[in-house]
Amino acid sequence: MNTYTTKIKKNDQVMVVAGREKGKTGRVLRIDLKNGRILIEGVNMVKKAVRKKSQNDRGGIMEVEAPLHISNVQLVGKNGKPARAGFKLDGDKKVRVNAKTGEAL
């Protein structure tokens, strides 16, 4: 099985650039590099049947976020547009930058 690498991290602002949710933006909640999936807050909502349990008083149908493939999302730059990320050395620190403009992400 493949493992994926990405320059996207938890709590980054990302935009969906392909698929049914194209154009939506949100904050990254979780990244699964083993399966190449990413969970974004408020994006790709699906209905899920949930059983009644002690911690969940009500059962029924709930809306939850479903993961997307990593290749379908891109980081959002300061201007609100999708941006490719690169790295630049700032002294001894390695900083993620917008590959086109050079500004820090």
Per-residue pLDDT of the chain (105 residues; tens, 9 = 90+): 578 888 999 999 999 999 999 999 999 999 999 999 999 999 999 999 988 877 767 788 889 999 999 999 999 988 889 999 999 998 899 999 988 888 888
Among the listed residues 81, 8, 82, 63, the one whose alpha carbon sits nearest the alpha carbon of residue 38:
8
CA distance 69 to 98: 22
Q: Is residue 63 part of a domain?
A: yes
The pLDDT of residue 54: 72
Q: Is residue 18 part of a domain?
A: yes
The pLDDT of residue 56: 63
> 71 is in which domain, residue-wise?
13-76
Burial of 65 (0-12, 13-18, 19+ CB in 10 A): middle
HSE toward the beta carbon, residue 45, CA cutoff 13 A: 7
The pLDDT of residue 1: 58
Q: Is residue 6 part of a domain?
A: no
Q: Is residue 36 part of a domain?
A: yes
CATH code (residue 27):
2.30.30.30
